[in-house]
Amino acid sequence: MRIDILTVLPEMIEGFFDCSIMARAKKKGLAEIVIHNIRDYTTDKHHRTDDYPFGGCAGMVMKIEPIDNLITKLKSERHYDEVIFTTPDGEQWNQKMANTMSMCENLIILCGHFKGIDYRIREHLITKEVSIGDYVLTGGELAAAVMADSLVRIIPGVISDEQSALSDSFQDNLLAPPVYTRPAEYKGWRVPDVLLSGHEAKIRDWEFQQSLERTKRLRPDLLEGDGI
Ligand code: ADE
């Protein structure tokens, strides 16, 4: 899978993709993350990526031209399944969307900024608008990193124990059960006896009951309706 991230602040997220699982996915050739600086696609001599809004409102608006130049160039090189725009008024990102999109070949994620982008970009170039939650960030870079992380980690082969991605919270509409490691007792705080019993069936049943109990208590909405 290839993800092209379009931003005016590449330095904000470059380091993130050079770490841990993202770096491993890149190294194994399972994910290619390409970060583009929108400023490199301006044609005016001041390399402006934003301008004053028509109508005299406050704030600046991202210009069409450099974004269109960049998206047009990318699309001439390969087919993209989606051109995503990160925005607080988009569809809310969740595990179901991550599962579906992780099967895509090529994605573009355009990071929004400041007051917004010229609406014609959204009308003519964007195929999907995504929010990572009901709060406003200063820009879409963190949203793009969150989305790319949740997509890449579920590509088969990225996490060595694939089972661990499948047993994440939110897969199967259930939160994950608690996990423990050695020592079995610390300051008198004990690991549940069943996990030390060696009885596989009892352990799986305990994990399921814990998942169910935690979901009912913490996220009852996941058990209602369609969920994830
Ligand atoms: N840009 C600003 N806030 C955002 C949010 N909550 N989700 C996605 N992009 C954003």
Minimum-distance ligand 1 atom for the alpha carbon of 112: 1
Domain 167-223 carries which CATH code? 1.10.1270.20
Residue 6 Cα to ligand 1 middle (Å): 15
Rama region for 7: left / alpha / beta (φ>0; ψ in -120 to 50; rest):
beta
Given the DSSP bridges, would you call strands 189-190 and 185-186 parallel, antiparallel or unpaired?
antiparallel
Q: How far apart are the first and last CA of the chain?
A: 23
- Please list the residue range(s) of the chain that carry CATH number 1.10.1270.20: 167-223
48, with CB counted inside 10 A (0-12, 13-18, 19+), is middle
List where CATH 3.40.1280.10 sits in the chain.
2-152
86 lines ligand 1 (CB under 6 A): yes
Q: For 31-46, write each residue's pLDDT tens digit.
A: 999 999 999 999 989 9
Q: Which fold has domain 2-152?
A: Alpha/beta knot (3.40.1280)
Q: Is the dihedral of CA 137, 140, 142, 146 positive or negative?
A: positive
For the Cβ of 135 lying below 6 angstroms from any atom of ligand 1, the answer is yes
- pTM assigned to the model: 0.92
Distance 187 CA to ligand 1 centre (A): 43
94-130, pLDDT tens digit by residue? 999 999 999 999 999 999 987 789 999 999 999 999 9
Using the Cα atoms of residue 44, residue 48, residue 52 and residue 53 in order, give the sign of their dihedral. Answer: positive
